[in-house]
Amino acid sequence: MAKLGPAQYSPYPVAVYEGVLNPPPGKALLFNDIVDEETAMREAAKAMLTRENATIFPGPQVLYAWNEEAKKKAKLIKEMAEVLNAKIIPMYDYRPKYPKIDPDIEINPNHPNLTIWHNKIKACIFIGVHCHYANVALKIIRSETDCFTIAMCSMAGHEDAMITVRDQHSEDLEKFIEIAKEVKKELGLA
Amino acid sequence: MSPIANKESKEQKNRAGQKIVSPDYLLFEAPREKHFMTGSEAVKEAVKRATVDASVSYPITPQSEAAHLIGELWAEGYVGVYFRGENEFGVMSEVAGCSIAGARTITTTSGPGTLRAMENFPMWSGTRAAMQLVLMARGINAPLTIQPDNLEVSFLLDTGCMIWYAENVQELFDMILAGFVVAEQPDVHVPVITAVDGFFVSHTREAIYLPPDDIALPPYDPYKAPMPAIDAEVPPGRFLRDPFVMKSNYISYATHASWQFEVRAAIERSRPYAKHYLKGLTEEFGDKDAEIVFVACGTAASQAKEAVRVLEAEEGIKAKVVKLKTIRPFPYEELLEATKNAKYIFVPEFNVVGWLEREVRRALYKKSDAEIIGTPRVAGGMTMPKEAIVKEVLEIIPARR
């Protein structure tokens, strides 16, 4: 994520057009800087713990028990939400919905801004959302809202998020939860 | 159990019984043997080592043999599914179905068939289908041309597909294998169109070095795709990939805009992978500091290399060739660096419109003081002898000085 706000005449900024690519394996992206994963995780935890209405958006890859890793991750996400004092609003379906979504209980990649506006969400984590839909949503969120976006991706990451960590499997989520507990203690919120 | 036996027991094999090896081993490390074959036969050899799941063809005369040869691979057990489409539009739709259902898919086409299927190419990229099209360019024209000409590439430039351009039979073989690897990266995952000049490459025998045919690429993993594969049984695949065309009245304009940018962003993300597997997005030949530079792709680059030799040997003029291996993504930085000393940039092309000249002008606009000269340009099946390139240089440059 190179900078906030629209790029050129497009309402939807694209970080790669600003020269920002996904981090290499083992590293993370903090705005437009490649940093150690732990640094990014600490900043992500801080953003979630200090911004209003922090919310986790879990996607189909962790919402449905289609493999053992998904089940394990789902449990860890519940734990993560407790540590971060965050709400959970699922992105359970990628199809556009007619006439509109219910922003209290769901987020949709085709108009993610509606859920963020409605709930006044100032920080969020995308996790378990298929990469294309995460990218489409992150571009819209970046332009339409002032929400701090964090993407925890099991693949190569999302450069349109303000923080992205890549190759995140259940052991990495466990590590993030431990870091979040430390940050929470440091902030005097524990 | 001995370490060796343990190693062997971990060996994975594909449906054809080939040993699965890493892309780096297959492309860079495996021993290679010299062969002599056409571009079409090189396509077959690449597909044979690519653990391909599906291929659809519509070979009409005068076609290259490539699609037919992939059919032979199916008969031999190397390709999972192979059938003939109703026409080119049918083929390009059917391969999309195979690909988004989770199959590693390849097809071939050329010339007018490409345009008949045109609606499908942006659909491929929009549905993030990581398939491969080998385009043996032969031009678009009435009366029908069956000669080498790459006009159709200009129509494909902004379809959201990666476009790579092979110069010869060897490069075509290597690019097909690398194409699957790069296109299937989860953060890329758009189709790759591997173009070559028809007839000059598809029908001409050349020396080629091939790795053994008992090793192959790892299979495609559709569960790493950026959209769920079509799989009615296993969530989250049950969501399918709703084509937006069916629900365009239900979604925001925001989504359409963001979606299109995302597809183009995906092409940009392919740069580091393509640099690795193609050993750079460009290749240079000749005097690195030369003021005369030929920017070309495909066999125009081969001819330009011959012209560089002649200019040096017979005229004492130093020149160089910058061959573009990828057109999408366009190698902006590499081209700028390679032409930093250039005073004259010639863009030789096998088409009537000069699409590569336009690309070069756009890339260098306000970044280079060199004069960009869109010549020589031949079309409709004409050849481009090295003498024609040399003649252009000898006529144009003295007039400029």
d(CA A134, CA A145): 15
ipTM confidence score: 0.93
Which band of pLDDT confidence, cut at 50, 70 and 90, is reported for residue B254? confident
pLDDT digits (tens, 9 = 90+) for B167-182: 999 999 999 999 999 9
Q: Tell me what the mean pLDDT of segment B189-203 comes to.
A: 95
Higher pLDDT, A59 or B250: A59
Contact state of A132 with B262 under an 8 Å Cβ cutoff = yes
d(CA A158, CA A2): 12
Residue A12 domain-assigned? no
Block residue for tokens 């040993």: B19
Lowest mean pLDDT among B33-42, B64-73, B283-292: B64-73
Residue A152 domain-assigned? yes
pLDDT of residue B376: 95
Report residue A165 as tokens: 């960590």
pLDDT digits (tens, 9 = 90+) for A57-72: 999 999 998 899 999 9
pLDDT of residue A110: 87
Which band of pLDDT confidence, cut at 50, 70 and 90, is reported for residue A4? low
Check pLDDT > 60 for residue B2.
no
pLDDT of residue B238: 45
Higher pLDDT, B74 or A17: B74
Measured CA to CA in angstroms, residue B33 lies from B36, B212, B320 at distances of 10, 8, 30
Check pLDDT > 90 for residue B90.
yes
Contact residues on chain B for A19, CB-CB shorter than 8 A: none
The closest CB to that of A130, out of B228, B269, B272, belongs to: B228
**Phi and psi dihedrals of B164, rounded to 5?**
-115, 155
Q: Tell me what the mean pLDDT of segment B384-388 comes to.
A: 96
Q: What average pLDDT does the structure give for chain B?
A: 91
Q: Tell me what the mean pLDDT of segment A67-96 comes to.
A: 95
Instruction: List, in sequence order, every residue forming a beta bridge with B287; answer none if it has no partner.
Output: none
Q: Residue B249: count other Cβ atoms within 10 Å of its Cβ.
A: 7
Which A residues, 80 through 109, put their C-beta within 8 Å of a C-beta on chain B? 93-98, 109
pLDDT of residue B380: 86
Q: Does domain B284-400 have CATH number 3.40.50.280?
A: no
Selected for mutation to probe chain A from B100, B262, B268, B328 (highest A CB count within 10 Å) is B262
Contact residues on chain B for A61, CB-CB shorter than 8 A: 236
Contact state of B265 with A135 under an 8 Å Cβ cutoff = yes
Selected for mutation to probe chain A from B188, B223, B231, B255 (highest A CB count within 10 Å) is B255
Q: Tell me what the mean pLDDT of segment A127-151 comes to.
A: 94
pLDDT of residue B220: 97
pLDDT of residue B7: 44
Nearest residue of chain A to residue B237 (CA atoms): A60
pLDDT digits (tens, 9 = 90+) for B101-135: 899 999 999 988 899 999 999 999 999 999 999 99
Higher pLDDT, B305 or B250: B305
pLDDT of residue B399: 81
User: Buried b / exposed e across B51-76, counting CB within 10 Å, b at 16+?
Assistant: bbbbbbbbbeeebbbbbebbbebbee
Indicate the angle between helix axes A68-84 and A37-50, nearest 10 degrees: 50
Domain boundaries, chain B: 12-223, 284-400
The closest CB to that of A139, out of B225, B250, B261, belongs to: B261
Contact state of A139 with B271 under an 8 Å Cβ cutoff = no
Lowest mean pLDDT among A12-16, A44-48, A70-74: A12-16
Contact residues on chain B for A59, CB-CB shorter than 8 A: 236
- Distance (Å) from the alpha carbon of A5 to chain B's nearest alpha carbon: 14
pLDDT of residue B253: 75
DSSP string, B41-52: HHHHHHHHTTT-
pLDDT of residue B247: 54
Which band of pLDDT confidence, cut at 50, 70 and 90, is reported for residue B265? very high
In contact, B148 and B123? CB cutoff 8 Å: no
pLDDT of residue B251: 65
Give the CATH number for residue A63.
3.40.50
Nearest residue of chain A to residue B265 (CA atoms): A16
Lowest mean pLDDT among A84-98, A169-183, B46-60, B207-221: A84-98
- Distance (Å) from the alpha carbon of B128 to chain A's nearest alpha carbon: 8
Residue A151 domain-assigned? yes
Which band of pLDDT confidence, cut at 50, 70 and 90, is reported for residue B8? very low
Minimal CA–CA distance to B381: which of B299, B308, B301? B299
Residue A16 domain-assigned? no
Selected for mutation to probe chain A from B234, B261, B328 (highest A CB count within 10 Å) is B261
The angle formed by the CA atoms of residues B225, B332 and B149, to the nearest 5 degrees, is 85
d(CA A72, CA A68): 6
Contact residues on chain B for A74, CB-CB shorter than 8 A: none
Q: Tell me what the mean pLDDT of segment B363-380 comes to.
A: 96
In contact, A48 and A84? CB cutoff 8 Å: yes
Check pLDDT > 60 for residue B78.
yes
Selected for mutation to probe chain B from A14, A16, A160 (highest B CB count within 10 Å) is A16
pLDDT of residue B48: 98
Residue A159 domain-assigned? yes
Residue A20 domain-assigned? no
**If DSSP codes are grouped into helix, strand and coil, which group holds residue A90?**
coil
- Distance (Å) from the alpha carbon of A36 to chain B's nearest alpha carbon: 20
Block residue for tokens 């922090």: A54
- Distance (Å) from the alpha carbon of B163 to chain A's nearest alpha carbon: 18
H helical segments located in B77-168: 88-100, 111-116, 120-126, 151-156
Into how many domains does chain A fold?
A: 1
**Phi and psi dihedrals of A63, rounded to 5?**
-85, -25
d(CA A85, CA B140): 62
Task: Look up the CATH architecture of domain B12-223.
Answer: 3-Layer(aba) Sandwich (3.40)
Block residue for tokens 């690309």: B359
| HSE toward the beta carbon, residue B395, CA cutoff 13 A | 9
d(CA A124, CA A81): 11
User: Buried b / exposed e across A147-156, counting CB within 10 Å, b at 16+?
Assistant: bbbbbbbbbb
Q: Tell me what the mean pLDDT of segment B307-324 comes to.
A: 97
**What's CA B270's distance to the chain center, in Å?**
13
pLDDT of residue B109: 92
Give the domain range for residue A90.
Answer: 27-185
Residue A21 domain-assigned? no
In chain B the first and final C-alpha atoms are separated, in Å, by 77
d(CA B243, CA B227): 12
Contact residues on chain A for B186, CB-CB shorter than 8 A: 131, 155-156
Which band of pLDDT confidence, cut at 50, 70 and 90, is reported for residue B232? low
B247 in A contact zone (CB under 8 Å): yes
